[in-house]
Amino acid sequence: MGANSSSICELPENEYLKRLSGAEAVSENDPFWNQLLSFSFTAPTSSAELKLLEEATISICKSLVENNPRTGNLGALIKVFLSRTKELKISAECQNHLFIWQAHNALFIICCLLKVFICQMSEEELQLHFTYEERMPGSYGVECEDLIEELLCCLIQLIVEIPLLDITYSISLEAVTTLLVFLSCQLFHKEILRESIIHKYLMRGRCLPYTSRLVKTLLYNFIRQERSPPPGSHVFQQQTDGGGLLYGFASGVATGLWTVFTLGGVGSKPAPQQEQSSPLANQSLLLLLVLANLTDAPDTPNPYRQAIMSFKNTQGFTAFPSPSPHAFQINFNSLYTALCEQQKSDQATLLLYILLHQNSNVRTYMLARTDMENLVLPILEILYQVEERNSHHVYMALIILLILTEDDGFNRSIHEVILKNITWYSERVLTEISLGSLLILVVIRTIQYNMTRTRDKYLHTNCLAALANMSAQFRSLHQYAAQRIISLFSLLSKKHNKVLEQATQTLRGSLSSDDSPLPDYAQDLNVIEEVIRMMLEIINSCLTNSLHHNPNLVYALLYKRDLFEQFRTHPSFQDIMQNIDLVISFFSSRLEQAGAQLSVERVLEIIKQGAVALPKDRLRKFPELKFKYVEEEQPEEFFIPYVWSLVYNSAVALYWNPQDIQLFTMDSG
C-alpha cells in the first residue's frame, strides 16, 4: 500500500491496520505508531460516507475484537494518543501541524474502533478491552490505570483548552464526536440507562471539575457557528514543491502513508447546505443535549443539567452567587442571536425549550428583549410548516410559545410589534399585521390542521392554552385574525352538531337491532364540548378585558351571531354565554338604530363608539385564564429517545446500523 494507496476498498489489506488488529502486541513506544498515524484525508461529513468506511474496515475491527484481549493494542493506541495530546496546546500556539495532525489521526481511528466495540458489546465488556495490555513475566499483579476515565478526561480537556483554529478545528470536532460515541451505548438499550459506567465517569471523579467549562465551550461552539476550514488547512499539508522540513520529516517517519483517501471525491465541491453548515456547532449542540439529558445518579443530580439551569449573563448584575457549583457566565446577546438564527433545526429548538423552561436567567432576559419577533417568527414558521415537520419539533415549538405566553408583558408587547409582508404565510397576503395577530393565526391554523389530520388532544390542549394566556391582552386584532377565531368556533360547532346527530341516529337504530356494541359518542362529544368551552372562554376573556381595543372581533361576532344561538341555553355553556350574548345584543341594537345598508367602515365606527358606552359592570367577571406548562412526570421517556433520534439523523453523525438500534424506532425522528 504505502503512499500510493488512495482507495477505501484497499483498507482491509493495509499492512499497518492488519498489524494493529493482529495477534502481535505493539508497544506504545514502537516506531510503528508514527507510520500508522501518518495519513491525510478529507473528514467524512455524512452518515453515508461513514457507512462506506465502516463496511471497508469491518474485518479489521472484527480481528481487533478477537485479538485485543491478548495484545492490548487498543490500549496502546489510546496511550499513544494521550501522549500526543500533552503537547497539543503548545502545538496550536506554535502552528505545529505535525503533532496536531497525528493526534487527530489517532483519535479518528479510536473513534471508529470505539463505535464498533460499543455496537457489539456491553459496557462491562468494553471496560475489559480498555484494561487489556501486553503482560510481561512477573507483572500479573500490577494494576493498569483506568484508561476510559483518562481518555474521557483528555477529550474534555482537549475541547475546553485547545484554541479553535483552522489547524485544530478537525481534532476539536473529533473530540466532540468521540464523546458522543462513548455515550451512544444508550442507542443499544431498549430501556433508559440509569446505571452506566460512562455516565459515572462523566458525572464524578476527574471529569466533574470540567463540567461548567465543557457546557460553556459547547454553547460557544454553537453560538459561533464556525464553518469547517478549507480542505488541507487543518491537517498535514503537502507542499507542491516537495520541500519544507515538515513534509520531509513526515515522509521520513512514514515509509508510506497507509491511506490517502478523500470521501466524496478528490477536490469535489461540497453541497450548498454543507458550505453553510458548521459541523462543530452541530455536534457540540448534540453533545450538549445528550449531557443535559443524562439521568441523575442515585445520590447526585446531573451536573451538566445543573450547569445549563444556572448559568448567567456576562453583562448582567451578579451580586448574589449562584447556589450551583457548576454555574458560569456567558454572553446572552450572542446566545439569543444564535438561537434566533438556528431554529430551523430540531436540536436548536430543543435547546431553546430547555433554556426557557429550566434557566430562569435566560427566560427573564429573553422576555425583556425588545426584538422578540426575531425569536417568535422562526417558531411560528415551524408551526406553519406543520406538514413538513416531525411531531416532536412541532411540540417543542408549541411549548415554547406556551412558556412565553405565561408572561403578561410578552402578551402585551407582541401586539405592539408591527410586521410587514410575511412571505411564508400563503393563505392570505399579510401586508401589515401585528406579531400578536400573526401568532393567533398560526396557532389557530395548527388547531385546524390537528382536527382534520392528527387529532392529538395534547396538541389541542397546548394550542388553546397559549391562546387563553394571551386572550386578556388581545389588542387591535387584525380583521383576518378575528375572523379566524370565529371560523374556528364555527368549525367546532359543526363538528359538535355532527357528532350529536350521529349519536342520536345510532341510539335510535339500537332500539330496533341486536345488542351490538355502540360507538362511544359520549366521549367524543365530551372532548368537543371541552374545546368549545375553552374557545368561548377565550372570546369572553377578550371581551371582558379589552373590548374597546378589538372592534374587529366584535364585528366578526356580530357577523356570525347565529353560531352562538344553540349554545345560549346549553347547560355546559350558559354561564360563559351571558357576556357574549350581552355584547351581541348591545351592539346589534345600536346597529339597528343606525339604519340599514351600513358600510364596513361605518359598522366599525359604531362598534368603537359603543365600546366606550357599554357599562363594564354589566359584564360578569370570570377567573383569569392562565395555564402553565408542566413537564410530564417522567420526561426522560420522551426526551432521551428524542435527543438520540436527533443524533442518529444528524448529517455529520457517525453511521449506525438501523438493525442494531433499540432505543427508538426509525420513524420517531
Percent of the chain with pLDDT over 90: 53
Give the span between the Cα atoms of 170 and 234, in whole angstroms.
6
Pairing type for strands 432-434 and 418-420 reads antiparallel
The residue among 137 and 558 whose pLDDT is bigger is 558
| Residue-level pLDDT at 140 | 43
Contacts of 367 (CB under 8 A, 6+ apart): 404, 407, 409, 410
What is the per-residue pLDDT across 466-522, written as a single tens digit (0 to 9) for each? Answer: 999 999 999 999 999 999 999 999 999 998 888 888 877 776 666 555 555 555 677
**Contact 470/429 with Cβ under 8 angstroms?**
no
Answer yes or no: is pLDDT of 5 > 60.
no
Residue 8 scores a pLDDT above 80: no
Average pLDDT over residues 379-397: 92
Please give the pLDDT value at position 666: 41
Partners of residue 42 on adjacent β-strands? 262
- pLDDT of residue 552 exceeding 90: yes
**Residue 64, pLDDT above cutoff 80:** yes
pLDDT of residue 510: 61
Would the pLDDT of 41 be above 90? no
Q: What is the mean pLDDT of residues 175-204?
A: 92
pTM score, two decimals? 0.89
Please give the pLDDT value at position 203.
92
Is residue 331 predicted with pLDDT exceeding 90?
A: yes
The region that residue 176 occupies, defined by phi over 0 for left and psi between -120 and 50 for alpha, beta otherwise, is alpha
Direct distance between the N- and C-terminal alpha carbons of the chain, in angstroms, rounded to an integer = 41
Q: What is the mean pLDDT of residues 530-554?
A: 93
Q: Is 324 left (phi over 0), alpha (psi -120 to 50) or beta?
A: beta
- Centroid of chain to Cα 448: 25
Q: Which three cell numbers stand for residue 454?
A: 392528527
Sign for the pseudo-dihedral over CA of 57, 62, 63, 64: positive
pLDDT for 181 beyond 80: yes
Q: Which pLDDT value is given to residue 43?
A: 67
Average pLDDT, integer, range 275-287: 86
Q: 7-12 — which CB contacts under 8 Å span 24+ positions? A: 7/261, 8/52, 8/53, 8/56, 8/259, 8/261, 8/263, 9/56, 10/259, 11/53, 11/56, 11/57, 11/60, 11/259, 12/56, 12/57, 12/59, 12/60
Q: Give the separation between CA 417 and CA 437, rounded to whole angstroms.
A: 10
The Cα-based distances of 106 to 100, 109, 169, 264, 317 in angstroms read: 10, 5, 15, 22, 45
Radius of gyration of the chain (CA): 31
Comparison of pLDDT for 204 and 617, the residue scoring more? 204
- Distance, in Å, from the CA atom of 130 to the CA atom of 152, rounded to the nearest integer, reads 12
What percentage of the chain has pLDDT greater than the value 70? 84
Q: pLDDT at position 517, please? A: 52
Which three cell numbers mark 648?
Answer: 442518529
Given a cut of 80, is residue 320 above it in pLDDT?
A: no
pLDDT given for residue 656 in this prediction: 80
pLDDT at 80 over 70: yes
pLDDT at 317: 64
pLDDT for 537: 95
Average pLDDT of the segment spanning 653-664: 77
Select from 399, 414, 412 the least CA-distant residue to 465: 399
Looking at every residue in the chain, the average pLDDT score rounds to 84
